[in-house]
Each structure stands twice: as C-alpha cells, then as structure tokens.
Amino acid sequence: MVIVNKSRVHRLEVQCCECPNAMSPDIQMFQHRFFPASFNRPKTVFTFRVLNDFLLDSLESHCKDRYRELMRLKTMKWHGFGHHSDNLSTGELALFCLACPQPGINVLLDPSWKYTWSFVMDGNFKAKHLHPIKPFNEVWLSDRLGFMVGKDRYKIHLAEAADTVEKSSCNNHWAVNQANAARHKLESTGIGGVACARHGCFVPHSMVDFQKGERQATSTIPHS
C-alpha cells in the first residue's frame, strides 16, 4: 500500500483485519488516522498529519499553487530548453502545424519556393475576461513564448494605433456594434488569432486579446 506522509511516500505491506466482526477496510484506515484514496479496496492512503499540513499551507498560510510553474518547467523541458532557459525567443514554447510544410523540419530546405502557407484570422467574442482584483499578483509565466503575443509589445501597439469608429451600412450589424461598445469591467472582450487555413492549427505568437471587439488594431499585430 502507498502511504503518503510528511516525511516521504512509503510503500508498505498492509494487512487489514479480516475477523468476522471486523469493520470494513476504509473504516479501519480512519481508525488508524489514515485517509484512503478509495473506499473500495484502498491502495493509497494519506496520513492525517500530511492532510493537516496541506490544510495549513493552502488555507491558513495562503501559499500559492505551484502547478502552473511546474507545467512551465515541463513545457521548457519538452521543447529542449531545460538547461538554457534564458535564450528563448517568441513562440518557441508552442508548436506550429505539423502537417504544413516547414523547410528544415519536415521537408527539405531546397527548393523552399515550392511550399506556401495559407492562414486565416478569426475571433471569439464569448471569451471575456474581467479585470483582476489584484493585478500586482498576476504573473506571466510564458509571456510571448507560447501562442499569445508579448504583453508589452501588444500594449505599445494598442497605444500607437489609431482607434476609429467604424460606421456600418447594415442595420444593427452585430460585429460592428461589438467593436464600438465599451466594456469597462472587462480586461478583454474576446480573443483572436491566426490559424493554419488547411488544418486549423494556431500559429505560435499570434493570439491577442480584444479590448473593444474585433478592431483592426488588434488584428494587425498577430498578422505582422
């Protein structure tokens, strides 16, 4: 049986009481201050000591969940940057479409003029995001390294781009109305990006957040 304690994870032989009047194995585990992972034939248990320690760390000490940091390290390892993490460039922690021709990766380098890529741009207006309550606690673990563009470059681009109100000749055109509508409580009103036209795979470092619908300014930087 696997026993998780504060000191380490133990693997020990455990034999529950099988007398005629004996309680079920899970109740026997509770009596010995073990919390079973399953109530039917438990194979893994957690000591009350390690559970109390987890409760102290997660609720009373307000320790942050390190799962995202762990996943970032695993992503760097998967992409071959485990020992030189300071040399990452934009989009290197994301994979492009494996079926599209990529000279030097899945096709020969020469002649490269034989191969072309086709892209589409689209957005999702349902993926809204509220302003964080404590923005200073927001940490970007993979800024500009995955599918999303770098936040600093994107902010500079939005500050320099002219915001012109588009007038629609259609009656109550929904897309144009969404672009002109302000959402003060929302950090982003949607998400958009560039994808492979043939296979639908997103392009690394090409996804952006919408601030006021699908504007030309937000659609220019992933295309550039």
Q: Say what the pTM is.
A: 0.55
Q: Are 189 and 210 in contact (CB under 8 A)?
A: yes
Map residue 70 onto helix, strand or coil.
helix
Structure confidence by residue, pLDDT tens digits, 18-31: 898 999 888 999 99
**If you average pLDDT over residues 120-129, what whole number do you get?**
85
Comparing 110 with 16, the larger pLDDT belongs to: 16
Comparing 212 with 36, the larger pLDDT belongs to: 36
- Residue for token digits 């934009």? 90
Structure confidence by residue, pLDDT tens digits, 137-167: 777 777 888 888 988 888 888 888 776 666 6
Q: Are 217 and 201 in contact (CB under 8 A)?
A: no
Comparing 220 with 207, the larger pLDDT belongs to: 207
pLDDT band at 104 (very low <50, low <70, confident <90, very high): confident
CA distances (Å), 131 to each of 123, 135, 141, 186, 188, in order? 20, 8, 18, 5, 8
pLDDT in the model for residue 165: 61
Structure confidence by residue, pLDDT tens digits, 60-89: 656 566 677 677 777 777 777 766 656 778
